Amino acid sequence: MDKEQQPQQKQSGSEFEREPVPQDKLLGFKSFVGMYAGEHTAGTELMIGPLFVAAGVSAFDVVVGLIVGNLLAVASWVIMCAPIATRARLTLYYQLEKICGRQLVTLYNLANGVMFCFLAGAMVTVSATALGVWFHFPMPGLDDLYPNSIGWVIAVFAVGTMIAVVAAYGYKVVSKVANVAAPWMVLVFIAFGLIGLRQFIDATGAQIASLSDVWVLAKTKIWTGGNPQPGQVKFTFWHVMFFAWFCNMAMHIGMSDLSVLRFAKKSWYGVASGTGMFLGHYLAWLAASILYAFQLHQEPGNTKVLPGPLAYQAAGLAGLICVIIAGWTTA
């Protein structure tokens, strides 16, 4: 078996859930680079990025805050999670069972299951927004507590059913699609940011001759600071930094990624998480943020955060496909 396979895949018919991973089943660094890049470049990035604009964040606070927060997240993987994973080479669940007994692990699994149901539900709604572009039904905004159209309910139900059926009976297909689509999705997210900048330059008539000109555009048109939208909390540097750091706290400080990093040959392989943090939680968040800022620039009253329309406006059909696949594979 190829040693560079994804850490989640079965090794010789076993994932070693109740025993340490043998030395001959350990994986190389590239396995974790690809896995983290794909896992953290997902449909949620198109929901999270716009929230920084809605929170009235400034350019410095979002750009620098995300850098610091993501560096702290990577450090948490490297310093806390990876050394324990490579020393014991056991899953978090089995270690908890050995320390606290099966009853606590059962409760932990139940809580985890509920949490992942909410995450999957969020991904389903992200994918459903792409259908809204095609079928033109009303979709809920940031302040909507309940669905606002029967079309939205049907779309979410249809997408959720498809995802659940495929996940239950064809996970290998989903895994293969995710592995193939991950590099492409990263490129599409980068395209979102570049296209959004181009749209801003064309709409404002800004003269861009250097990076300093891009920074001026970012400060004056994209992340302008000021008051947040009604109902939103004002974000500063500290909000952004801690948001980026704690966004995946369950995985690094919470040790969920022991299940992944126990396959690593060396503890420093935890730095591979940086690909996910700086591709997904930096570039993708900023790109989505730019798209939403341009939407507000064109229509100041349109404060809805809808990944489907945002992606379609920037990249057309490729953007919609990216939204559907990103939500589907993550869910």
Residues 105-122 have pLDDT tens digits of: 899 889 888 988 888 888
Reported pTM: 0.86
25 confidence band (pLDDT: 50, 70, 90): confident
245 pLDDT above the threshold of 80: yes
The reply to whether 20 falls in a domain is: no
Instruction: Report the C-alpha gap between 319 and 306 in whole angstroms.
Output: 12
| Average pLDDT rounded to a whole number, residues 265-282 | 94
Partners of residue 27 on adjacent β-strands: 264
| Average pLDDT rounded to a whole number, residues 74-102 | 92
What is the domain range of residue 34?
25-330
> Distance from CA of residue 201 to its chain's centroid?
27
Query: H helices of 147-236, where?
Result: 150-169, 171-204, 211-217
Which residue has tokens 């007994």? Answer: 101
9 pLDDT above the threshold of 50: no
Instruction: Report the C-alpha gap between 156 and 230 in whole angstroms.
Output: 27
The reply to whether 17 falls in a domain is: no
The reply to whether 11 falls in a domain is: no
Instruction: Report the C-alpha gap between 27 and 4 in whole angstroms.
Output: 6
For residue 214, how many C-alpha atoms fall within 13 Å in the half-sphere facing its CB? 11
Which residue has tokens 């792409």? Answer: 130
Q: What integer pLDDT is reported at residue 173 of this predicted model?
A: 64
- CA dist 304 → 49, 158, 229, 285 (Å): 13, 22, 11, 17
Q: What integer pLDDT is reported at residue 70 of this predicted model?
A: 98
238 pLDDT above the threshold of 80: yes
CB 144 within 8 A of CB 304: no
> Distance from CA of residue 178 to its chain's centroid?
13
The reply to whether 19 falls in a domain is: no
pLDDT, averaged across the chain: 87
The reply to whether 60 falls in a domain is: yes
Q: Hey, which of 12-16, 85-89, 124-128 has the most confident mean pLDDT?
A: 85-89
CB 39 within 8 A of CB 248: no
| Average pLDDT rounded to a whole number, residues 56-60 | 97
Which residue has tokens 């507000």? Answer: 296
13 pLDDT above the threshold of 50: no
Which CATH number is 153's domain given? 1.10.4160.10
- CA dist 111 → 105, 107, 114, 116, 118 (Å): 10, 6, 5, 9, 11
Q: Give the chain's domain count.
A: 1
Q: Which residue has the higher pLDDT, 126 or 171?
A: 126
Q: What integer pLDDT is reported at residue 44 of this predicted model?
A: 81
Q: What integer pLDDT is reported at residue 85 of this predicted model?
A: 94
Instruction: Report the C-alpha gap between 67 and 130 in whole angstroms.
Output: 30
Provide the residue type at 209 as one letter: A
The reply to whether 199 falls in a domain is: yes
- CA dist 43 → 280, 284, 287 (Å): 10, 10, 13
| Average pLDDT rounded to a whole number, residues 27-49 | 84
Q: What integer pLDDT is reported at residue 241 of this predicted model?
A: 98
The reply to whether 70 falls in a domain is: yes
Q: What integer pLDDT is reported at residue 162 of this predicted model?
A: 84
281 pLDDT above the threshold of 50: yes
CB 235 within 8 A of CB 63: no
| Average pLDDT rounded to a whole number, residues 129-143 | 87
The reply to whether 93 falls in a domain is: yes
